[in-house]
C-alpha cells in the first residue's frame, strides 16, 4: 500500500493501481526505447503487473502498531514480503515467462542485502527460477534483459513519484526519494543522463525535463481517503472497505 498522511486523513493507493500507471507509461514510450521488439509485449506485461504480489494483500491493509499508522509497503517485514513476492511471480509466470523473469529480478534485488534466512532463501529460489526460465527461452540476451529491467525500474519510480506526492506539492515538500529527480538506471544510456528532473507544475500537471513518451499522458490515480476518526472507531480494515474509491486526474508533460 502507498500511504500519504494528511492532518485528519490517510490517502491510500493500492500497489497494483500504481503498477497499472507504470504499465500505461510503458505503453506510451517512444518505440526507440524498446530494443529487440520480440520481447515488447512481455516487457509491457511485466511493468503493468510488477506489483501483482500486493494485489490481494492491499484489499485489507495492515495497521502498523509501532508507528500507529497504516503500513506503507516499505515498512512491511521482509519475511512477509517473501510470501507475497513468490505469489506475485508465480502468477505472472503462468502468463508470460519473460515477464516473470523481470518480476523475479525486481523482487530479488529488494531482498538481496537482507541477511535474514527467509530473505536469502527467497533470493536463492528466485535465482533458480530465473535460470530455469532463461534455459527455456530462445534468443535470450542478458544485455537486452538489463535494458528491459532498467525500463521497469525507471517507470516504477516515475509512477511512485506521481502517487507518493500530493498533487501540486512544492519541490521542497516532495517525498525525499525524488526531491533530486527520478534516477535513471545506468543501462538506459539513451537517456543521456543519470537523473531526470521532475516537478509539479500545478495540482493537475507533472512536468519532466527529459520526456521519453510520444505525447502528453493523461493519468488517473485511483485512491481511497480514510478519515483518521473512522479508523479509531471502526478499525483500519472496515474503514478502508467502506470508503468509496476516488479518482484524481493529472497530465504528464
Q: CA 227 to CA 240: how far, in whole Å?
A: 9
Look at residue 205 and tell me whether its pLDDT is greater than 90. Answer: yes
Residue bearing the bigger pLDDT, 133 or 73: 133
**Looking at residue 37, what is its pLDDT?**
78
Q: What 8-state DSSP symbol labels residue 166?
A: P
* Average pLDDT for 37-57: 93
- In percent, how much of the chain has pLDDT > 70? 100
* Entry pTM: 0.94
Question: What's the average model confidence in pLDDT over 200-218?
Answer: 96
Residue with C-alpha cell 481517503?
Answer: 225
How many CB atoms sit inside 10 A of residue 212's CB?
20
Kindly tell me the burial class for residue 119, based on how many C-beta atoms sit within 10 Å of its own C-beta (0-12, 13-18, 19 or more). Answer: buried
CA distance 189 to 175: 26
Predicted local distance difference test score (pLDDT) of residue 175: 92
Q: Is the pLDDT of residue 7 over 80?
A: yes
pLDDT, mean of residues 109-137: 96
pLDDT score, position 31 = 81
Write out pLDDT tens, residues 163-204: 999 999 999 999 999 989 999 999 998 888 999 999 999 999
* Cα distance between residue 243 and residue 156, in whole Å: 27
Query: What mean pLDDT value characterizes the chain?
Result: 95
Q: Which whole number is the average pLDDT over 9-34?
A: 93
Strand segments, DSSP code E, in the chain are 2-5, 9-13, 63-64, 69-70, 182-183, 195-196, 198-202, 205-208, 217-227, 246-252
The pLDDT assigned to 190 comes to 87
What is the residue whose three cell numbers read 484524481? 248
Are the beta carbons of 129 and 166 closer than 8 angstroms? Answer: no
pLDDT in tens, 50-89: 999 999 989 999 999 999 999 999 899 999 999 999 999 9
End-to-end CA gap in the chain:
26
As separate numbers, helices (DSSP H) first and strands (DSSP E) second, the chain gives: 8, 10
Reported confidence tier of residue 36, pLDDT bands at 50, 70, 90: confident
Is residue 12 helix, strand or coil? Answer: strand
Helix (H) or strand (E) holding 195: strand 195-196
Write down the pLDDT at residue 38: 84
Amino acid at each position: 500500500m502507498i500511504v500519504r498522511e494528511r492532518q485528519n486523513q490517510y490517502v491510500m493507493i493500492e500497489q497494483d493501481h500504481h503498477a497499472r500507471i507504470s504499465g500505461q507509461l510503458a505503453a506510451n514510450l517512444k518505440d526507440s526505447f524498446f530494443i529487440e521488439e520480440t520481447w515488447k509485449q512481455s516487457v509491457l506485461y511485466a511493468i503493468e503487473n510488477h506489483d501483482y504480489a500486493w494485489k490481494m494483500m492491499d484489499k485489507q491493509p495492515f495497521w502498523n502498531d509501532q508507528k500507529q499508522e497504516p503500513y506503507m509497503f516499505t515498512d512491511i517485514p521482509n519475511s512477509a514480503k517473501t510470501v507475497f513476492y513468490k505469489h506475485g511471480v508465480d502468477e505472472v509466470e503462468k502468463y508470460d515467462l519473460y515477464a516473470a523473469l523481470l518480476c523475479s529480478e525486481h523482487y530479488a534485488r529488494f531482498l538481496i542485502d537482507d541477511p535474514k534466512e527467509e530473505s536469502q532463501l527467497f533470493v536463492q529460489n528466485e535465482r533458480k527460477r530465473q535460470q530455469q526460465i532463461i534455459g527455456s527461452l530462445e534468443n535470450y540476451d542478458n544485455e537486452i534483459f538489463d535494458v528491459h529491467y532498467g525500463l521497469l525500474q525507471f517507470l516504477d519510480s516515475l509512477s511512485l513519484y506521481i502517487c507518493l506526492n500530493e498533487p501540486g506539492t512544492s519541490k521542497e515538500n516532495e517525498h525525499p526519494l525524488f526531491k533530486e529527480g527520478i534516477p535513471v538506471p545506468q543501462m538506459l544510456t539513451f537517456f543521456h543522463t543519470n537523473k531526470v528532473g521532475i516537478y509539479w507544475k500545478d495540482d493537475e500537471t507533472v512536468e519532466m525535463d527529459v520526456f521519453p513518451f510520444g505525447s502528453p499522458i493523461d493519468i488517473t490515480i485511483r485512491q481511497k481517503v480514510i478519515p483518521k476518526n473512522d479508523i479509531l472507531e471502526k478499525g483500519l480494515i472496515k474503514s478502508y472497505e467502506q470508503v468509496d474509491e476516488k479518482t484524481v486526474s493529472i497530465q504528464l508533460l
